[in-house]
């Protein structure tokens, strides 16, 4: 895992890395930050970075809230066709995204959402994987905790957001990181829905460093290193939460 990351950083710190004849001449050549400076200066890089950050944050917050509400309803509430709804959510998980590419594109065009944040955010505000993940976790929380809170006078929403929501923090953290990672790295749908530069995300912008005849390897690696930075920071600070969330509920006392 570390080897490709290290190789990407090395290439990003070399001027015209594609011109070197062999590995050793590349490694022992002079390091430079010119590729990073060029990446920031060229083609509104900061705008693309902001687009990716804004879209990823909004989608992540939406998934935390909406997947939590739906997951709680499926875990605790009884309603008509509950099992059918749950199995339909499981069924959606096995459908490859490429199959919905054309229908979703036509829908976005008909709604007039092309080249807007709506097309990059609304379809992904809630995911079947997130619902499934939260539902399974909430089912492992003893119902007696909720009953005790209701006896003490807590209302429905207070139980939901003061009791269950904090107890679900480990799995919601996992969902947040998973969603942010997927949204930040998403290429296909942002590429389809953004024909204008002002709305492009960072992965889409990086693809334009690859031409038909040549690849701007230095700028591409510099841009990719910057793009990977938020994900690395998140993982470094929240890796304990990820492990706790993935193992929570694995054992019953």
pLDDT tens, 154-163?
888 888 898 9
pTM (whole model) above 0.75: yes
Predicted confidence (pLDDT) at residue 87 exceeds the cutoff of 70: yes
Predicted confidence (pLDDT) at residue 252 exceeds the cutoff of 70: no
Predicted confidence (pLDDT) at residue 244 exceeds the cutoff of 70: no
Looking at 58-154, which runs of residues are DSSP E strands?
Answer: none
Where along the chain do its domains lie?
46-202+230-247
Q: Which of 1-10, 98-107, 162-171 shows the lowest mean pLDDT across its residues?
A: 1-10
Q: What's the CA gap between 152 and 183, in Å, rounded?
A: 41
Q: Which of 37-41, 91-95, 247-251 shows the lowest mean pLDDT across its residues?
A: 247-251
Within the chain, residue ranges assigned H as helices are: 2-12, 23-27, 34-41, 45-76, 82-93, 101-111, 117-121, 128-139, 143-151, 156-158, 165-167, 169-185, 188-193, 202-207, 217-247
- Which fold is adopted by the domain 46-202+230-247? MetI-like fold (1.10.3720)
- Which residues 6+ apart lie within 8 Å of 202 measured at CB? 48, 49, 51, 52, 184, 223, 226, 227
Predicted confidence (pLDDT) at residue 64 exceeds the cutoff of 60: yes
Predicted confidence (pLDDT) at residue 48 exceeds the cutoff of 70: yes
């Amino acid at each position: 895992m570390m080897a490709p990351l290290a190789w990407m950083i090395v290439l990003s710190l070399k001027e015209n890395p594609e011109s070197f004849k062999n590995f050793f001449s590349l490694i022992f050549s002079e390091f430079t930050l010119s590729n990073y400076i060029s990446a920031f200066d060229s083609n509104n890089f900061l705008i693309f970075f902001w687009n990716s950050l804004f879209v990823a944050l909004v989608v992540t917050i939406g998934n935390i809230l909406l997947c939590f509400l739906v997951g709680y309803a499926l875990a605790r509430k009884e309603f008509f066709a509950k099992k059918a709804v749950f199995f339909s959510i499981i069924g959606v998980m096995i459908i490859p995204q490429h199959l919905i590419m054309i229908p979703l594109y036509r829908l976005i065009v008909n709604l007039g959402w092309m080249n807007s944040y709506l097309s990059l955010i609304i379809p992904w505000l809630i995911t079947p994987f997130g619902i499934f993940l939260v539902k399974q976790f909430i089912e492992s929380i003893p119902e007696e905790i909720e009953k005790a809170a209701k006896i003490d006078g807590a209302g429905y929403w207070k139980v939901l957001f003061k009791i269950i929501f904090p107890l679900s923090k480990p799995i919601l953290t996992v969902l947040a990181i998973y969603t942010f990672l997927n949204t930040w790295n998403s290429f296909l749908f942002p590429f389809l829905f953004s024909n204008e530069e002002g709305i492009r995300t960072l992965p889409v912008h990086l693809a334009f460093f690859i031409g038909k005849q040549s690849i701007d390897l230095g700028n591409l690696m510099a841009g990719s290193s910057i793009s990977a930075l938020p994900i690395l920071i998140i993982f470094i600070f929240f890796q304990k939460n990820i492990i706790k969330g993935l193992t929570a509920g694995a054992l019953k006392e």
